[in-house]
Structure 1
Amino acid sequence: MSEESNRIVFEDALVMHASGRPGKVEIRATKPLTTQRDLTLAYSPGVAAPCLEIHRDPSLVYDYTAMGNMVAVISNGTAVLGLGNIGPLAAKPVMEGKSVLFKRFADVDGINIEIHSEDVDEFVNSVKFFGNSFGGINLEDIKAPECFIIE
């Protein structure tokens, strides 16, 4: 690409990411929440029913929650594309992009999570602590050799 083409793509990308609601992802309800009854079933007191069933049989979490269709896209931003170590916040647009790809091409909900640590043990422990909240984990853009140790 020419320098002029790169500049245009750069500017267009900034406009696309900032226009309307910033970023590329959002969370939407999968059930109608239009009536008082809908809210009663979705939250309190109705939500107690699936909670009790999952407590009785943990495998039911896949029947009553979105967990089975949700993947965490996780990075600390230490090896992003051709950008190198740009840190977790600057890596967020890339992780949102990966989440959008999961949604668009596999109808899987991706939740991007940026971990603010380059320490392997802290990173691994962070993922271990919240990892069971997702049906899958996608580790992204972590520098070597840490990426091999972590994965």
Structure 2
Amino acid sequence: MLKVGDQLPQFEALNQDGETVKSQDFLGKKLVVFFYPKANTPGCTAEACNLNDNISQLAKEGFQILGVSADAVKAQKKFHEKFGFQYPLIADESREVCEKFGVWQLKKFMGREFMGIVRTTFRFDENGICTRVIEKVKTKEAANQILEN
């Protein structure tokens, strides 16, 4: 998994509208990349809505927000429109972005093991250097966790 001091991985992926988003488009800006397991599930919805509800405070601190899951473009679009998110959602069906950040991992749930996205948030400075990794994301306090130093 990416750690503090690491460079923002280079990637290209489609957003909820099928438009290409490139990591280098965010250089020169502070960036928050949050990975969530699945669109329209309770925890992921709580996290994404918390970030959206606090978007002006995050923007005031200079942060751009980018959400990522392995959902298809269509699922991301539905999720984006349903809640009116003011930031893009990446449809990482190939899991290429997830693997570059190191969040595609073996998970355990109810005695079952499977590969999936470990909910993680990364904060980057204007030079694309990781300044914070939040592994224990509190879905209803996600924005506050990002704003903490």
| Common fold by TM > 0.5 | no
Q: Point out which structure has higher relative CO (alpha carbons under 8 A, 6+ apart).
A: 2
Taking structure 2 as the reference length, the TM-score comes to 0.27
Larger radius of gyration: 1
**Higher helix residue share:** 1
**Higher strand residue share:** 2
